[in-house]
Amino acid sequence: MSTERLLERAKVAGLGEIAEKVLASERLSREDGVTLYRCPEIHVVGELANHVRERLHGDLAYFNVNQHINYTNICNKLCRFCAFQRLPGQEGAYVMSPEVVASKITEQLEQPVTEVHMVAGIYPKLPYEYYLDILRAAKKARPSIHVKAFTMIELMQIARRAKKPLREVLPELIEAGLGSCPGGGAEIFADRVHQEGYHLKNTGDQWLDTARIVHEAGLRTNCTMLHGHIETIEERVDHLDRLRLLQDETGGLQTYIPLSFHPENTEWAHLPGPTAIDELRELAVGRLMLDNVPHIKAYWIMLEIPIAQLALSYGADDVDGTVVEERIYHDAGASTPQEVKRRELMQWIQDAGRVPVERDTLYRVVWSPDENLARTGEAAPVSG
Ligand code: V47
């Protein structure tokens, strides 16, 4: 769509001033964020986000060939939104030994997996050595694999068990194989929501302080926001603004992933959860507000495939990966398939009118239909 047409449509939707800022690559204010959330013209919000997405990435849409391993579901944080957690001894509770982690990885050796994504509950009995051992086991099973592991709350727990400051623990985790960190566990930073929904977990400030230390240690992380439960629009805008300020400081955030609340089997099962339109708006507002985060991920496992396809025209440029075995969303009612093959992911992206590019965890090109891209290995700008 031409910029004139986009501006015209935005003016009719009451988004004229915001559109002018977007076209001039100017930062949006918190008030602009609230306006975007309240605007009934969701398609115009999406068109603005698509403009930014195409300015940054053209028609490219990224995916990777990855594998998720949730090494334990035992957790003492009792988050009200979570269906995955179990108490020690409860039916279904498990902890994977380093050998089991290794065997999950060797089972996939025939597949061109480049990343293992490892996150889990907080089980205080696990010793510091356990975390080093699962990293080592993963790297030994497949030396070329990039290990993206441990959310900020897990890192806080690991440092507690190591009885050392995180700054001293991170080099040891890196030595054992840690390559980057996922973005989960941020939820909504606002204290009100923290108190009501997950008061035993890290606060918003602790999440941000931990991510700052991780970035300073040279690791990149992703970031998330769990939406569609008890949070207000203003609390979502506050969350996005605080992520944006962290990124101004460190440049360490690679990808933002809005996580849609799945209510089934949780203490918040009475809440309806977000609609498909809410999910598309969340991706679009994320793209528009987080002007300094290079990538926006539409996590297909959580969204369902048709919404992930639409999302590629609502600000998202990434759909995550092949995943293999997912528990957090399936325990909370997700009905998406557990595993998709590389070829299927590429076909969905093509069917959505985008050009699939296989990336590694750090957004270097693994495969692209464009030989130049594939040769240089430069997928997309990653700031910092
Ligand atoms: O930390 C838990 C959230 C996260 C529910 O970094 C729930 O590339 C919705 O962070 N409904 C795990 N959300 C998923 C995650 C993630 C996924 C894909 C890629 C990346 C990445 C990160 O999911 C948890 C929590 O914030 N969560 N329960 C639920 N019922």
Task: Write down the mean pLDDT value for the chain.
Answer: 95
Token pair recorded at residue 269: 């099962």
pLDDT interval class at 374 (50, 70, 90): low
Give the mean model confidence (pLDDT) for residues 130-152.
98
**Which of 77, 78, 226 best tests ligand 1's pocket when mutated (most atoms within 8 Å of CB)?**
226
Output phi, psi for 253, to 5 deg: -90, 125
Predicted pLDDT of residue 376: 58
Measured from the Cα of 185, ligand 1's closest atom is 1
**Which of 210, 328, 335, 336 best tests ligand 1's pocket when mutated (most atoms within 8 Å of CB)?**
328
Q: Residues 323, 66: contact at Cβ < 8 Å? A: yes
Instruction: Read off the pLDDT of residues 161-182 as tens digits, 9 standing for 90 and up.
Output: 999 999 999 999 999 999 999 9
Residue among 303, 318, 314, 307 at smallest CA distance from 356 = 318
Establish whether residue 197 lines the binding site of ligand 1, counting it when its CB lies within 6 angstroms of any ligand atom. no
Lowest mean pLDDT among 68-77, 322-331, 351-360: 322-331
Token pair recorded at residue 157: 């727990």
Count of CB atoms situated within 10 Å of the CB of 351: 11
Percent of the chain with pLDDT strictly greater than 70: 97
Question: Ligand 1 centre and the CA of 322: distance in Å?
Answer: 16
Instruction: Read off the pLDDT of residues 177-214 as tens digits, 9 standing for 90 and up.
Output: 999 999 999 999 999 999 999 999 999 999 999 999 99
Establish whether residue 380 lines the binding site of ligand 1, counting it when its CB lies within 6 angstroms of any ligand atom. no
Predicted pLDDT of residue 308: 97
Q: Residues 273, 262: contact at Cβ < 8 Å? A: yes
Question: Ligand 1 centre and the CA of 328: distance in Å?
Answer: 7
Closest C-alpha to ligand 1, atom 21: 182
Ramachandran sector of residue 212 (left: φ over 0; alpha: ψ -120 to 50; beta: rest): alpha
Predicted pLDDT of residue 382: 41
Count of CB atoms situated within 10 Å of the CB of 67: 24
pLDDT interval class at 375 (50, 70, 90): low
Residue 380 clears pLDDT 50, i.e. is over it? no
Give the mean model confidence (pLDDT) for residues 42-71.
97
Token pair recorded at residue 82: 């979570």
Question: 92 or 380: whose pLDDT is higher?
Answer: 92
Question: Ligand 1 centre and the CA of 332: distance in Å?
Answer: 11
Give the mean model confidence (pLDDT) for residues 343-361.
95
Predicted pLDDT of residue 381: 43
Q: What is the 3-class SS of 144-212, one letter each residue?
A: CCEEEECCHHHHHHHHHHHCCCHHHHHHHHHHHCEEEECCCCCCCCCHHHHHHHCCCCCCHHHHHHHHH
Predicted pLDDT of residue 377: 56
Count of CB atoms situated within 10 Å of the CB of 217: 16
List the Cα angle 65/71/77 in 5-degree steps: 120
Instruction: Read off the pLDDT of residues 243-279 as tens digits, 9 standing for 90 and up.
Output: 999 999 999 999 999 999 999 999 999 999 999 999 9
Q: Residues 248-261, buried b or exposed e (16+ Cβ, 10 A)? A: eebbbbbbbbbbbb
Instruction: Read off the pLDDT of residues 284-304 as tens digits, 9 standing for 90 and up.
Output: 999 999 999 999 999 999 999
pLDDT interval class at 340 (50, 70, 90): confident
Distance CA 67, CA 323 (A): 4
Ramachandran sector of residue 58 (left: φ over 0; alpha: ψ -120 to 50; beta: rest): left
Predicted pLDDT of residue 323: 86
